[in-house]
Copies of this chain bind each other. A is one copy, B any other.
Amino acid sequence: MALRYALLASLYESPATGYELTRRFRERMGNVWNASHQQIYRELAKALDDGLVKVELVEQSGKPDRKVYHLADSGSAELGKWVNGFSPRPATRDPLLLKLFAGDLWSQDRLSEELSRYELDWQEELERYREIERDYFQDVQTLPRHYKLQYLALRRGIMATESWLAWAREVRDVCGAPPEGS
């Protein structure tokens, strides 16, 4: 049911179309929740069926009509119940770490190569996050609680990515695989 709550939580911020929700997940909430547009459209239809959201049709010329989804009263009630309940930690399933257990089959060069790709990725992501931090969260203590909490989600993204980068350095230390430029 968690995707359902992810959608409700995003609609709680502001009404949106399935397309916009897809972008929010990809761009602003990538660190928090992921879902494809197919999954989102499917789940929105179900939530509509269950009366948790309402739709407003907005006609457009050329393109298909926009279906703007709003949170219904029962929707925010449900969301409230879920948010105030306890959620267990998500399970980890990481292919990169898994490969370490078949290390003898993994050539040192390929490990190093793959690690470099990940590092580039993490570095880029970290820079994106830091930019958002600079641009939108200068004076955190003065912000209303709502934005403080979103800031904390961003901070989690930053810290998680930094932690991966620090780990990558340890991998190179232990395995003697020097970074790209050395």
Residues on A lying within 8 angstroms of B by beta carbon are 2, 5-6, 8-10, 12-13, 29-34, 76, 79-80, 83-84, 86-107, 110, 114, 117-118, 121, 140-141, 145-146, 148-153, 155-156, 159-160, 162-163, 166-167, 170-171, 174-175
A106 B91 Cβ-Cβ under 8 A: no
Report the Cα distance A75→B117, complex, angstroms: 27
Report the Cα distance A76→B105, complex, angstroms: 8
A-B contact pairs, 12 of them (CB 8 A): A2-B98, A80-B102, A80-B105, A83-B102, A83-B110, A84-B105, A87-B99, A100-B149, A100-B153, A103-B146, A156-B167, A159-B167
B92 A32 Cβ-Cβ under 8 A: yes
The answer, among B34, B104, B107, B159, for a CB contact under 8 Å with A146, is B104
Q: Which of A149, A163, A166, A170 has the most CB of B within 10 A?
A: A149
Residues of B contacting A32 with CB < 8 Å?
A: 92-94, 97-98, 100-101
Given A32-B94, A149-B175, 11 more A-B residue pairs with CB atoms under 8 Å apart are A8-B102, A10-B101, A32-B98, A33-B98, A90-B94, A97-B156, A100-B149, A103-B146, A148-B174, A152-B170, A159-B163
Residues of B contacting A106 with CB < 8 Å?
A: 83-84, 149
The answer, among B118, B152, B175, for a CB contact under 8 Å with A100, is B152
Residues of B contacting A84 with CB < 8 Å?
A: 105-107, 110
A103 B145 Cβ-Cβ under 8 A: yes
Report the Cα distance A24→B170, complex, angstroms: 25
The answer, among B9, B29, B110, for a CB contact under 8 Å with A99, is B9
Report the Cα distance A141→B174, complex, angstroms: 7
